């Protein structure tokens, strides 16, 4: 027979409860901020309708953010989820310097994968949005605008990803309080940018784009604070080495952006007869352009990373080989 038990003392629930309180608070802060974002995005759609512009509002923002979250969910979450148990064991053993090395290694590895994806989506955001959303409920014009918002969101992909990795460093130390206050700070930064200047932009498209830019900018602030505070907690984060390595990856990413833009312009001339005027209603041509540009982006990024000697290219190759090897065996 089932009977309730009340002898809860001594099972570690008190400590878990204290940690959970700050985590719940973090979620609440994010939700409150999102309520404000929802309100402004809805207003943007009203403004677009009133001015006779292409509809752009909450749906535009949400779908663009969904595309923004996809590479993070597939790449960053997968890598960091595998890292966290070992990271927690090292932190529990009091090896804080090792925690710092592991966190920095994770940031560099994740950056190697996420930067080319960021560069690719920055260039082909419109094509992706048109193929995903432009042949259904949304019109081609609405999907094109959505793609522009996706490209703006990509400006915040690197800080968003690195911030996520740094949070796992805090959690390995059983510190959920500091992430809460950091979240409060960058949420206030987001609102401080959004609320007073939202009305300075006209048309729903411009206002939604501005909201995406505010979102991206706030995560740069959050990354800076989270990095500095965690480095102090751990006695260092190999910041110089990590920043230099990520900077080389960014250079490789910028090279790939240049290569993709050049390729895209040439394909526009070939497929549409103009580098400026593009017929986005031709699904097959848009798909062909997207596939070619993505291939050029990946190849040019790897080539540039090899030329400027990005050390993580070897580690990334090993990780991919191990993953593919485990799938073949299974």
Q: What is the pLDDT of residues 123-156, one digit of tens each?
A: 999 889 988 887 776 788 888 899 999 999 999 9
Give the lowest-confidence range in 4-8, 126-130, 152-156, 165-169: 4-8
Look at residue 14 in the predicted model and tell me its pLDDT: 58
With a cut of 90, say whether residue 268 has pLDDT above it.
no
**Predicted confidence band at 260 (pLDDT cuts at 50, 70, 90)?**
very high
**pLDDT by residue (tens digit) across 190-242?**
999 999 998 888 877 889 999 999 999 999 999 999 999 999 988 888 888 89
Average pLDDT over residues 294-320: 84
Averaged confidence pLDDT in the chain:
86
- For residues 90 and 83, the model is more confident at 90
Model pLDDT for residues 52-84, shown as the tens digit of each residue: 788 788 888 999 999 999 999 988 888 888 877
Q: Where is mean pLDDT largest: 166-180, 275-289, 307-321?
A: 166-180
d(CA 223, CA 239): 13
The rounded percent of the chain whose pLDDT value lies above 90 is: 45
**Mean pLDDT across the stretch 148-173?**
92
**Residue 322: predicted pLDDT:** 65
What is the Cα–Cα distance from 225 to 243, expressed in whole angstroms?
Answer: 15
Residue 11 has pLDDT above 60, yes or no: no
Per-residue H/E/C for the chain: CCCCCCCCCCCCHHHHHHHHHHHHHHHHHHHHHHHHHHHHHHHHHHHHHHHCCCCCCHHHHHHHHHHHHHHHHHHHHHHHHHHHHHHHHHHHCCCHHHHHHHHHHHHHHHHHHHHHHHHHHHHHHHHHHHHHHCCCCCCHHHHHHHHHHHHHHHHHHHHHHHHHHHHHHHHHCCCCHHHHHHHHHHHHHHHHHHHHHHHHCCCHHHHHHHHHHHHHHHHHHHHHHHHHHHHHHHCCCCHHHHHHHHHHHHHHHHHHHHHHHHHHHHHHHHHHCCCCCCCCCCHHHHHHHHHHHHHHHHHHHHHHHHHCCCCHHHHHHHHHHHHHHHHHHC
Higher pLDDT, 42 or 280: 42
Q: Which residue from 159, 165, 163 is spatially nearest to 217, judged by alpha carbons?
A: 159
Question: Which stretch of 84-93, 199-208, 320-329 has the lowest confidence by average pLDDT?
Answer: 320-329
263 or 134, higher pLDDT: 263
Q: What is the pTM of this model?
A: 0.86
Mean pLDDT over residues 173-191, rounded?
A: 92
Backbone angles phi, psi at 45, to 5 degrees: -65, -40
Are 262 and 269 spatial neighbours (Cβ–Cβ below 8 Å)?
no
Q: Using the predicted structure, report yes or no on whether residue 29 has a pLDDT greater than 60.
A: yes
């Amino acid at each position: 027979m089932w009977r309730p038990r009340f002898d809860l003392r001594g099972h570690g629930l008190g400590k878990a409860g204290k940690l959970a309180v700050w985590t719940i608070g973090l979620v609440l802060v994010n939700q409150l901020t999102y309520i404000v974002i929802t309100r402004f995005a809805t207003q943007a759609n009203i403004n677009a309708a009133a001015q006779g512009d292409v509809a752009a509002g909450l749906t535009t923002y949400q779908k663009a953010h969904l595309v923004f979250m996809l590479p993070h969910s597939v790449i960053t979450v997968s890598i960091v989820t595998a890292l966290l148990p070992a990271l927690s064991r090292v932190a529990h053993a009091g090896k804080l310097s090792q925690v710092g090395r592991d966190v920095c290694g994770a940031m560099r590895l994740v950056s190697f994968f996420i930067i080319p994806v960021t560069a690719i989506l920055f260039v082909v955001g419109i094509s992706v949005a048109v193929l995903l959303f432009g042949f259904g409920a949304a019109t081609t014009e609405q999907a094109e605008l959505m793609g522009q918002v996706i490209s703006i969101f990509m400006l915040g992909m690197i800080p968003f990803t690195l911030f996520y990795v740094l949070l796992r460093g805090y959690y390995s130390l059983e510190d959920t309080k500091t992430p809460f206050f950091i979240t409060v700070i960058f949420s206030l930064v987001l609102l401080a940018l959004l609320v007073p200047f939202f009305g300075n932009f006209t048309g729903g498209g411009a206002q939604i784009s501005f909201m995406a830019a505010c979102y991206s900018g706030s995560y740069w602030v959050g990354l800076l604070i989270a990095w500095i505070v965690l480095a102090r907690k751990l006695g260092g984060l190999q910041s110089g080495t990590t920043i230099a390595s990520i900077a080389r990856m960014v250079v490789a990413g910028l090279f790939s952006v240049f290569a993709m833009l050049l390729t895209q312009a040439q394909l526009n001339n070939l497929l549409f007869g103009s580098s400026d005027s593009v017929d986005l209603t031709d699904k097959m041509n848009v798909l062909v352009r997207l596939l070619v540009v993505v291939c050029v982006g990946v190849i040019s990024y790897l080539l540039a990373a090899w030329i400027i000697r990005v050390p993580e290219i070897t580690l990334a190759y090993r990780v991919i080989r191990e993953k593919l090897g485990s799938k073949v065996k299974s």
